[in-house]
């Protein structure tokens, strides 16, 4: 028998019949993993995991209960590090996070969790610690050319599309760098939990344990790092703090989507240079397009042309017979930086924002979503539709 083709054996310990059934269904499509279920709470394990040849163990438990934490400690001692342990738990507090980190579990996920996220977590722990070459996080940065152009809307929906993508679907985090008055968490009806005051003077305190406490988690598995809104505060933050935060997020997520503020800070240049894709969001008015042109030139000067931004024109409308701006005018002003346009669908966007849900939850086949996917996931969109986008005219800068 060829051992290279032998699937990795994973053991799931769970008293939750529905969760176990969903997990079995999710793992059934993979020829790399075989799943065995022990239908028992962790407190009732009596050596079932000892002596097994499992490649990883998933334990479904309640990390807020002391008896289950003690049972997990016994399991970890008995296993003696022979296989990584992934903990799936219900809502828990910072104390539970610290205990799980101290026990050196390979990963911990919070219910409700998408089974796809659990599969990805297993694949990552089976690959071993650290990221292999070519597996660095992909950073997508969205910068508004003016106020009210829809930068946050496009950044948040991009994060969802990446998270759900058949080609790039993986753990994804939205980072709202509008630290005074960001809206990413608000758009998804989440509570912003990033307490900047706790780490402002000691950025070295920000580690995985603290990061997990400060993340807001959407039911889809998407994570958001956003600070509570403080509109009366006009503050700047040290470059070390921002870079430390982004480095840590990049270490634990496969996709990072950044919603930038309009204001330029000392850390802006470093962030732009570290982005794999930089999108400037504009709209179809002459003043905004001219401002976009100036912004493109400023970025080129600041980064010595090392960064080539792609411009997304939001609320794009094809006008053939009136005196307004036409696509040819946009292309003439923006040149090779024009990446594409997003249809003007105010009703859809307004409903999604008011309900606190992503755009695709209102209409998964909306023109806005199709246009956005043609820009951020051109290969996937082409594979699904068999044709190129009308707007997808310019190839984007390749990943650094």
CA distance 336 to 331: 8
DSSP β-ladder status, 255-259 and 338-343: unpaired
Domain that holds residue 374: 138-385
Same domain, 85 and 164: no
Q: How high is the pLDDT of residue 400?
A: 30
Give a yes or no: residue 93 inside a domain.
Answer: yes
- What count of residues does the chain have? 400
Q: Which two tokens stand for residue 84?
A: 């990584």
* Pairwise CA distance, residues 185 & 156, whole Å: 9
216-217 and 223-225 beta bridge pairing: antiparallel
| Domain C-terminal end among 126, 153, 177 | 126
Selected residue with higher pLDDT from 368 and 136: 368
**Does residue 399 belong to any structural domain of this protein?**
no
Can you count the helices (H) and strands (E) in the chain? 15, 13
Pairing of strands 338-343, 223-225: unpaired
Residue 215 located in a structural domain: yes
Same domain, 249 and 351: yes
Three-state secondary structure readout of 252-266 = HCCEEEEECCCCCCC
The C-alpha atoms of residue 399 and residue 356 are separated, in whole angstroms, by: 32
Helical packing angle, 346-355 and 151-164, nearest 10°: 80
Please report which residue ranges of 127-256 form alpha helices under DSSP H. Answer: 151-164, 184-187, 208-214, 239-252
Rounded mean pLDDT, 261-285: 90
Q: What secondary structure letter does DSSP report for 227?
A: P
pLDDT band at 2 (very low <50, low <70, confident <90, very high): very low
In angstroms, the CA 195 to CA 201 distance is 12
Closest CA to 309 of 334, 286, 345: 334
Read off the pLDDT of residues 221-258 as tens digits, 9 standing for 90 and up: 899 999 888 877 766 677 878 888 888 888 788 899 99
Q: Rounded to an integer, what distance in angstroms lies between the CA atom of residue 260 and that of residue 253?
A: 18
Q: Both tokens of residue 75? A: 């399991």
Query: Is 393 within the bounds of a domain?
Result: no
**Domain assignment present for 22:** yes
User: How many angstroms separate the CA atoms of 329 and 237, rounded?
Assistant: 39
pLDDT band at residue 399, thresholds of 50, 70 and 90?
Answer: very low
With a cut of 80, say whether residue 389 has pLDDT above it. no
| Separation of alpha carbons 238 and 354, rounded Å | 34
What's the structural domain count of the chain? Answer: 2
Q: How many CB atoms neighbour CB 95 within 10 A?
A: 12
Asked if 375 contacts 251 with a C-beta cutoff of 8 angstroms, the reply is no
Least confident piece of the model among 114-128, 130-144, 309-323, 378-392: 378-392
Looking at the structure, tell me whether residues 54 and 78 fall in a common domain.
yes
Assess if residue 1 is contained within a domain.
no
Query: Do 45 and 143 have their domain in common?
Result: no
Mean pLDDT calculated for residue range 158-181: 83
Residue 203 and residue 226: Cα distance in Å, rounded?
Answer: 16
Candidates 306, 304, 231; CA nearest to 275 is 306
Higher-pLDDT residue of 140, 377: 140
Q: Is residue 254 domain-shared with residue 306, that is, in the same domain?
A: yes
Strand ordering across the sheet containing 8-13? 33-38, 8-13, 56-61, 85-89, 107-110
Same domain assignment for residues 142 and 122 = no
| pLDDT tens per residue across span 151-169 | 999 999 999 999 887 666 5
The stretch 176-186 carries a mean pLDDT of: 89
Q: With DSSP H G I counted as helix, E B as strand and the rest as coil, what are the percentages for the chain, rounded to 5?
A: 40, 15, 40
Residue with tokens 């700047």, as numbered in its chain: 236
**Domain final residue pick, 91, 126, 161:** 126
pLDDT band at 30 (very low <50, low <70, confident <90, very high): low
Strands 255-259 and 172-176: parallel
Report residue 314's pLDDT band, with 50, 70 and 90 as the boundaries. very high
CATH number for the domain spanning 305: value is: 3.40.50.300
Question: Are residue 78 and residue 201 in the same domain, yes or no?
Answer: no
Nearest to 239 by CA among 265, 212, 275, 217: 265
| Predicted confidence band of residue 176 (pLDDT cuts 50, 70, 90) | very high
192 and 62, same domain (yes or no): no
Give residue-wise pLDDT tens across range 34-44.
888 999 999 99
pLDDT of 322: 59
94, 126, 158: which is the final residue of a domain? 126
The structure tokens listed for 388 are 């190129």
Whether residue 154 sits in one domain with residue 100: no
Query: 3-17, 48-62, 183-197, 320-334 — which is least confidently predicted?
Result: 320-334
8 A C-beta contact, residue 181 and residue 231: yes
Task: Please check whether residues 122 and 144 belong to one and the same domain.
Answer: no
Q: Are residues 295 and 233 in the same domain?
A: yes
- Residue 112 lies inside a defined structural domain of this protein: yes
> Domain with 87 in it: what CATH number?
3.40.50.2300
pTM over 0.85: no
Q: How confident is the model at residue 319 (pLDDT cuts 50, 70, 90)?
A: low
Instruction: For 337-361, write each residue's pLDDT tens digit.
Output: 999 999 999 999 999 999 999 998 8
Q: What is the DSSP letter of 389?
A: -
CA distance 216 to 249: 13
Given this model, what pLDDT does residue 352 score? 92
397 — pLDDT class (breaks 50, 70, 90)? very low
Q: Is residue 25 part of a domain?
A: yes
pLDDT-based confidence at residue 116 (cuts at 50, 70, 90): low
- Whether 76 shows a pLDDT value over 60: the answer reads yes
Q: Is the distance from CB of 143 to CB of 278 less than 8 angstroms?
A: yes
What is the biggest distance separating any 2 CA atoms in the chain, rounded to whole angstroms? 78
Average pLDDT of the residues in 278-293: 93
Same domain membership, residue 300 and residue 198: yes
**Tokens linked to 274:** 């570290």
């Amino acid at each position: 028998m060829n051992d290279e083709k032998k699937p990795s054996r994973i053991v799931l310990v769970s008293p939750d019949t529905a969760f176990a059934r969903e997990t079995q269904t999710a793992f059934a499509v993979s020829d790399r993993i075989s799943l065995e279920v022990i239908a028992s709470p962790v407190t009732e394990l009596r050596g079932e995991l000892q002596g097994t040849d499992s490649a990883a163990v998933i334990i479904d438990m309640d990390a807020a209960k002391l008896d289950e934490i003690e049972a997990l400690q016994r399991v970890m001692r008995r296993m003696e590090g022979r296989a990584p342990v992934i903990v799936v738990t219900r809502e828990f507090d910072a104390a539970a996070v610290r205990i799980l980190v101290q026990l050196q579990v390979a990963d911990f996920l919070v219910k409700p969790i998408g089974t796809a996220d659990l599969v990805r977590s297993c694949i990552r722990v089976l690959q071993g610690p650290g990221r292999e070459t070519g597996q660095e996080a992909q950073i997508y940065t969205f910068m508004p050319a003016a106020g009210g152009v829809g930068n946050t809307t496009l950044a948040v929906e991009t994060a969802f599309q990446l998270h759900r993508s058949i080609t790039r679907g993986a753990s994804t985090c939205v980072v709202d760098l509008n630290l005074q008055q960001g809206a990413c968490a608000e758009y998804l009806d989440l509570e912003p939990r990033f307490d900047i005051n706790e780490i402002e003077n000691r950025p070295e305190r920000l580690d995985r344990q603290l990061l997990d406490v400060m993340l807001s988690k959407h039911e889809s598995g998407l994570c958001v790092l956003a600070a509570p809104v403080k509109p009366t505060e006009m503050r700047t933050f040290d470059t070390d703090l921002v870079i430390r935060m982004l480095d840590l997020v990049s270490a634990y997520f496969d996709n990072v989507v950044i919603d930038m503020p309009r204001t330029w800070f000392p850390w802006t240049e470093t962030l732009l240079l570290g982005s794999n894709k930089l999108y400037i969001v504009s709209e179809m008015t002459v003043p905004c397009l001219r401002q976009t042109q100036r912004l493109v030139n400023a970025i080129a000067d600041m980064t010595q042309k090392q960064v080539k931004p792609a411009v997304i024109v939001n609320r794009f409308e094809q006008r053939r017979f009136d005196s307004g701006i036409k696509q040819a005018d946009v292309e003439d002003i923006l040149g090779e930086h024009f990446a594409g346009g997003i249809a003007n669908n105010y009703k859809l966007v307004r409903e999604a924002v008011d309900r606190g849900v992503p755009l695709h939850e209102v209409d998964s086949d909306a023109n806005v979503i199709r246009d956005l996917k043609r820009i951020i996931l051109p290969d996937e969109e082409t594979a699904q539709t068999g044709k190129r986008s009308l707007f997808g005219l310019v190839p984007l800068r390749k990943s650094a």
